[in-house]
Amino acid sequence: MVQKKRVGVVFGGRSCEHEVSLASAASVVQNLDAQKYDIIPIAITQEGTWRWGVTPSQLLNASDPAIAAEITAAPAVTLVIDGHSKRFISTNDASPLPGNGELDVLFPVLHGPYGEDGTIQGLFEMANIPYVGCTVLGSATGMDKEIMKELFQSAGLPVVKTLNYKLYEWERAPERILDLIEQQLTYPCFVKPANLGSSVGVGKALNREQLTKVINEAFTYDRKVSVEQGIDCREFSCAVLGNDELSASVVGEILTGGEFSDYEDKYVNHTIRFVIPAQIPEDTAQMLRGMALRAYQAFDLKGLTRVDFFQDKADGQFYINEVNTLPGFTDQSLYPKLWAASGLAYPQLLDQLIELAFQQYEVRQKLRSYR
């Protein structure tokens, strides 16, 4: 009998996208093949404590005193980093963890800062353990909307005009920045924290008063904001899978419930709908798949990403919006749906992601800098 791989699913985290991570992780745990894997949930609380064996459901219901007690009683753990060990140890219990805390691969299901931005990927590389998804560089650049668009433009990919400002600039001269925005963009415009996802902190402005309000709101989430020209558009998406040999899924269209895809539409009201495959000509779909692959290569991404596009309804022009290096993974999320429509079911998608993690790990082990 082939020995099962021990897969640590890491989820939760300190980000404001904490609850989105719990929903994604619950689906990953449910869809991993228990005949192939020993699945070990590793929860990161909102305070930053790592808990061995705590499930997404427990963390989601942590406000219940009984469940909170179960979480507190679970072993608090940390990764051993000595260049050889690939295991966790308990920090609050002298007894060893099941399987001595050893894992074959880690599957991070963390959205936003401290999980999608290269920070935890750096920890995993220091611990010398295989992990699913993009590396440090791809994660970090794919998270920062300013750097992201600069890389898009360097790769010859069209982007909607965007202005970027730092918090200290706004605090020193808000009126000057408002003037600059109004000189270079027209209303409506969108304001986004530069380093967040799930539409958290995103706001639409139709005038100067609203612009001031949404900029102030965005700065509560990040020290840098992006102000983007609003366009009346259709939204499309394509999923990419692979390390060096890449595959692109069918293209899907995103139909929003309101004026734009905000957090409530995605995760509270569930008013967003997907048309998969998108009702567009095949040559257009092929063009978007090609753009998605170019973006993937420009960021040197590994494992997976979802690439999103706008199409201006006025002139038909396509723009690349973003790469999402750790997209949502619920059963209703767009990334697994795109692959399901392309003939790759959710459990098999997870198999491939884990195999890609091992492949990428083997590449690193051959490098002299990793010895």
198 counts as catalytic: yes
282 among annotated binding-site residues: no
- How many angstroms separate the CA atoms of 195 and 325, rounded? 12
17 counts as catalytic: yes
The three-class DSSP label of residue 201 is coil
Catalytic residue among 198, 226, 237, 261: 198
- For residue 316 the two structure tokens come to 């038909």
283 among annotated binding-site residues: no
231 among annotated binding-site residues: yes
Query: Distance of CA 131 to CAs 10, 44, 121, 304, Å?
Result: 10, 16, 8, 12
Query: Distance of CA 5 to CAs 48, 108, 303, Å?
Result: 27, 16, 18
90 among annotated binding-site residues: no
234 among annotated binding-site residues: yes
Strand arrangement, sheet containing 50-52: 50-52, 37-44, 5-12, 105-109
322 among annotated binding-site residues: yes
Query: Distance of CA 216 to CAs 186, 202, 221, Å?
Result: 19, 11, 9
30 among annotated binding-site residues: no
DSSP 14: S
321 among annotated binding-site residues: yes
Catalytic residue among 17, 24, 27, 226: 17
The CB density around residue 33, as the number of other CB atoms within 10 Å, is 12
38 among annotated binding-site residues: no
How many Cα neighbours within 13 Å face the side chain of 337?
Answer: 18
253 counts as catalytic: no
249 among annotated binding-site residues: no
192 among annotated binding-site residues: yes
- Which residues define the annotated binding site? 145, 190-192, 198-199, 228-235, 308, 321-322, 324
Active-site residue set: 17, 198, 333
- Which residues define the annotated binding site for ATP? 145, 190-192, 198-199, 228-235, 321-322
- Which residues define the annotated binding site for Mg(2+)? 308, 322, 324
